[in-house]
Amino acid sequence: MTEGTTEKSAIDRPEYHSALANGLVIGRYKILAVLGEGGFGITYRCHDTQLHRDVAIKEYLPSGLAIRQGDTQVLPRSTEVSKDFVWGRSRFLDEARTMAKLSNVPAVVRVHDFLEAHGTAYVVMQLLEGETLAQRLERETRLPQATIEQILPPLLDGLEQIHGVGFLHRDIKPANIMLGPDGAPTLIDFGASRADIAGRTQAMTAIFTPGFAAPEQSSAGKQGPWTDIYGLAATLYACVTGKPPPSALERLLEDDSAVSIDTAGADYALTLLAAIDVGMLLQAHARPQTIDAWRRVLTTGVWKVPDSTSRQTQRTIVMSGGTPGTSAPPPEVTPAPTPAPARHYKPMVLAAAAVALLVVGGGAGYAVFAPRAHDAVAPSSPAAATPAPAAAQASEAANRQADEARRQAEEQRLAEEAAARERERLEAEQAAAKAAEEEARARAEPGEAELKLTNRDRQKLQAALLSLGFDVGGIDGTFGPRSRQTIAAWQTMNGDVATGFFTAAQKASLMTEAAPAIAKWEDAQRRAYAEEQRRLQQQQQAPAPPPLARRGFKWPWE
Residues 176, 196 within the same domain: yes
Confidence of residue 421 (pLDDT cuts 50, 70, 90): confident
Percentage of residues in the chain having pLDDT higher than 70 = 75
The CA–CA distances, whole Å, from 252 to 6, 163, 231 equal 38, 28, 17
Give the torsion sign (CA, 399, 401, 402, 404).
positive
Residues 175, 288 within the same domain: yes
In a domain, 192, yes or no: yes
Which is higher by pLDDT, 254 or 444? 444
Q: Render pLDDT for 125-171 as a digit per residue (tens, 0 to 9).
A: 999 999 999 999 999 999 999 999 999 999 999 999 999 988 888 88
Which is higher by pLDDT, 405 or 380? 405
Which is higher by pLDDT, 293 or 320? 293
Coil/strand/helix, residue 398? helix
Percentage of residues in the chain having pLDDT higher than 90 = 30
Q: In the predicted model, what is the mean pLDDT of residues 56-84?
A: 88
Cβ contact 24:74 at 8 Å: no
Residues 201, 95 within the same domain: no
Residues 311, 222 within the same domain: yes
In a domain, 226, yes or no: yes
In a domain, 550, yes or no: no
In a domain, 380, yes or no: yes
Report pTM. Answer: 0.56
Rounded Cα gap, residues 499 and 448, in angstroms: 11
Residues 303, 362 within the same domain: yes
Residue 234 has pLDDT above 70, yes or no: yes
Coil/strand/helix, residue 213? coil
Q: What is the pLDDT of residue 101?
A: 83
Q: What is the pLDDT of residue 151?
A: 95
Rounded Cα gap, residues 447 and 402, in angstroms: 66
In a domain, 411, yes or no: no
Q: What is the dihedral of CA 186, 187, 188, 190, to 10 degrees?
A: -160
In a domain, 555, yes or no: no
Cβ contact 372:224 at 8 Å: yes
Residues 251, 345 within the same domain: yes
Q: Render pLDDT for 441-462 as a digit per residue (tens, 0 to 9).
A: 788 888 888 889 998 899 889 8
Residues 140, 285 within the same domain: yes
Give the torsion sign (CA, 375, 380, 382, 384).
positive
Rounded Cα gap, residues 455 and 475, in angstroms: 10
The CATH number of residue 112's host domain is 3.30.200.20
Alpha helices in 175-254 (DSSP H): 192-200, 225-241, 248-253
Look over the chain and give the mean of its residue pLDDT values, rounded to a whole number. 77
Q: Render pLDDT for 480-497 as a digit per residue (tens, 0 to 9).
A: 888 888 898 888 887 788
Which of 388, 417, 448 is at the close of a domain?
388
Q: What is the pLDDT of residue 340?
A: 38
Nearest to 465 by CA among 397, 528, 517, 413: 517
Residues 70, 159 within the same domain: no
In a domain, 526, yes or no: yes
Nearest to 320 by CA among 337, 338, 300: 300
The CATH number of residue 298's host domain is 1.10.510.10
Q: Rounded to the nearest 5°, which phi and psi values hold at 516?
A: -60, -40
Q: How many residues does the chain have?
A: 558
Residue 240 has pLDDT above 90, yes or no: yes
The CA–CA distances, whole Å, from 351 to 249, 355, 507 equal 11, 6, 64
Rounded Cα gap, residues 459 and 219, in angstroms: 59
Task: Find the domain containing 515 and state its range.
Answer: 426-541
Q: What is the pLDDT of residue 22?
A: 92
DSSP element (H, E) containing 117: strand 111-117
Which of 129, 147, 174 is at the close of a domain?
129
Q: What is the pLDDT of residue 438?
A: 77
Tally of structural domains, the chain: 3
In a domain, 548, yes or no: no
Confidence of residue 255 (pLDDT cuts 50, 70, 90): low
